[in-house]
Amino acid sequence: MKQMLVKTSTHDYPIYIGKSLRFKLNELIKESYTKVLIITDDVVADLYLDDVRNSLEHFPVIEAVVPSGEASKSIKEYYRLQTVALKNHMDRRSLIIALGGGVVGDLAGFVAATFMRGIDYMQMPTTILAHDSSVGGKVAINHELGKNMIGAFYPPKAVVYDIDTIRSLPDHEIRSGFAEIVKEAYIANKPLLEELLHKKLTDISEEELIRYLYEGISVKKKIVEEDEKESHVRKFLNFGHTLAHALEAILGYGTITHGEAVAIGMLFALRVSEHYTDHDLHTERYKKWLDRNGYPCSLYGISHDDIIEKMKLDKKAANEQIQMVLLKAIGKPEIFDFTDETIEKHLQAFAKELNEA
């Protein structure tokens, strides 16, 4: 089992990465809780809910299952979970466990952040992608007008990452997760990037996977420790996300995975970056890597005006200027503000590159 400790303004919390950790929760949970509410989705419930419940024998356990998918990050599901917690007499000394991918982590985390003004919660990510969202305390639900618009900064008490649970993910989920690892590499770990760009995702061993996750999480840990509330360096983690959030919002969550959208967004951000630097950003190698691993690479025929409109709704936007993270070099991210006109020009060139102009 690998382990690291993340410092926050309120408390420090451990991240455990290893095999079969879902059977060891009684050892890993050090505090005494009056009750434990496991929140998971219907797909994960079938696979791991029994294991998790059985390893919590010292606690009264409540379960709540939400439909798998982004649509569960709704105000309706959020309120229903508050009702479950209240009806089962949870109190301020109760614990919530988020067992699942990013959707469950964000949703359950926001329930924990606001139930009785905040109770403890633990992240148990079950996807590669969730290595990112489970660390750093960003929790949220979606509003019809934008992703993650309602939420909080609220760090978990622990992250328990059982590697067994990510073994049998479908290909698009593996792509989704690795896009965020590549992102972390791009903004802060050049050797990792160069190693990854040589890889075919289907050939990665379990040992390698654990190491990549550990290194990706290490990048994230360092950044969120420096800037918990995203006032400066934490914004770098949004490399590739300005376009990605717009695509997801317009296509409807579920058409492509979050990481696949980020992968497209990173290619766009790299192309824009090239206007502001002479450094080699490995863009061509990255493009080949996307191709080799079956990433979709398209703007899906969406009008540029619609994309720009959504980009302005991004939380990073201010004064209706569009903010993007660009690279001055690999490992050297910077934040740039853009007018609509400039973004439009870059989108045109990008569409042309994708043969969609």
Query: Does the protein bind its own copies through residue 300 (CB under 8 A)?
Result: no
Q: Angle at Cα 302 formed by Cα 301 and Cα 308, nearest 5°?
A: 145
Binding its own copies by CB under 8 A: which of 118, 191, 252, 254? 118
Give the x-and-dash track for 51-70 against its own copies (CB under 8 A). Answer: --------------------
Maximum CA pair distance of the chain? 61
Binding its own copies by CB under 8 A: which of 31, 57, 145, 301? 145
Query: Does the protein bind its own copies through residue 292 (CB under 8 A)?
Result: no
CB of 309 to its own copies, least distance (A): 10
Query: Does the protein bind its own copies through residue 116 (CB under 8 A)?
Result: yes
Binding its own copies by CB under 8 A: which of 47, 149, 233, 354? 149
Give the x-and-dash track for 89-108 against its own copies (CB under 8 A). Answer: x-xxx---------------
What is the three-class DSSP state of 245? helix
Using CA atoms, how far residue 278 sits from 47, 189, 216, 273, 328, in Å, is 49, 19, 26, 9, 8
Query: Does the protein bind its own copies through residue 136 (CB under 8 A)?
Result: no
The interaxial angle of helices 258-273 and 241-251, nearest 10 deg, is 140
Name the pairing type of β-strands 332-338 and 146-153: unpaired
Query: Does the protein bind its own copies through residue 117 (CB under 8 A)?
Result: yes
Which burial class, exposed, middle or buried, applies to 352 when counting CB atoms under 10 A from its CB (0-12, 13-18, 19+)? exposed
Q: Which residue's CB is nearer to its own copies, number 256 or number 343?
A: 343
Q: How many residues bind its own copies (CB under 8 A)?
A: 41
Query: Does the protein bind its own copies through residue 349 (CB under 8 A)?
Result: no
CA–chain centroid gap for 73, Å, is: 14
**Catalytic residue positions?**
117, 138, 180, 220, 230, 234, 238, 241, 245, 258
How crowded is residue 132: how many other Cβ atoms within 10 Å of its Cβ?
28
Nearest to 157 by CA among 4, 9, 2, 15: 15
Query: Does the protein bind its own copies through residue 83 (CB under 8 A)?
Result: yes
Query: Does the protein bind its own copies through residue 233 (CB under 8 A)?
Result: no
Query: Does the protein bind its own copies through residue 250 (CB under 8 A)?
Result: no
Binding its own copies by CB under 8 A: which of 68, 82, 218, 293? 82
196 neighbors 208 (Cβ within 8 angstroms): no
Nearest to 225 by CA among 315, 149, 303, 155: 155
What is the three-class DSSP state of 329? strand
Q: What residues line the site for its own copies (CB under 8 A)?
A: 9-10, 34, 75, 79, 82-83, 86-87, 89, 91-93, 113-118, 138, 140, 143-146, 148-153, 229-230, 312-313, 315-320
